[in-house]
Every structure is written in C-alpha cells, then in structure tokens.
Amino acid sequence: MYRVYVRYEMKPGMREDFLSAVAGAGLRQAVLAEKGCRQYDYFRDVDDPDVLLLAELWDSREDQQVHMGQPHMAALPRLKEQYVRQTALECHEL
C-alpha cells in the first residue's frame, strides 16, 4: 500500500471555490475509478479556513505514479494555479 498526503494552503478565502471546481471537473470520481485507488478524500482544517488536506491510498506506488499521468489530472495544475498558494507532499510505503 502507498499513502499520499497533500496539504494545500489556499489563497485567502479560496478553499470552497477550489473544492467546487474539483467537484465540477469530476476529479474525485475519475480518480476513484482508477486501478489501485482505495481513497481520494479532501478534509477541511477546522482551525484554518485556508488549509485543506488530501488523503490518497493506493495499492502500490506504481498505481499512484500512473494516476499522475491520467488525462483527467491535467485539470489539477490549472486549478492549483488559480486557488492554491502552496502545497506540501508526504508519502509513505505501508
């Protein structure tokens, strides 16, 4: 198993807009349909309205790497440019 956490620090006040854009693009459903994806969930920080955590769980690192090249993932960099100030990535082999 391969676990990925992405901590998004949003541009001020943009968290809900980002989540709406992700939902509108159908990204979560598309990712969950990918081979090896077991979890792809966003969590709101209760103390900071500009922080969002993405938790991913994959059968393998290879599955997650294939995921990054999927056509539906092409929308994410554009969304991040518009809504996200910075990201931090943490990965774990389980």
| pLDDT at site 90 | 97
For 13-41, what is each residue's pLDDT tens digit? 999 999 999 999 999 999 999 999 999 99
CA angle 52, 45, 72 (to 5 degrees): 20
Strand 51-58, strand 84-93: pairing: unpaired
Coil, helix or strand at residue 28: helix
pLDDT in tens, 51-94: 999 999 999 999 999 999 999 999 899 999 999 999 999 999 99
What global pTM score does this model have?
0.93
Q: Residue 85 has what pLDDT?
A: 98
Q: What is the DSSP letter of 72?
A: G
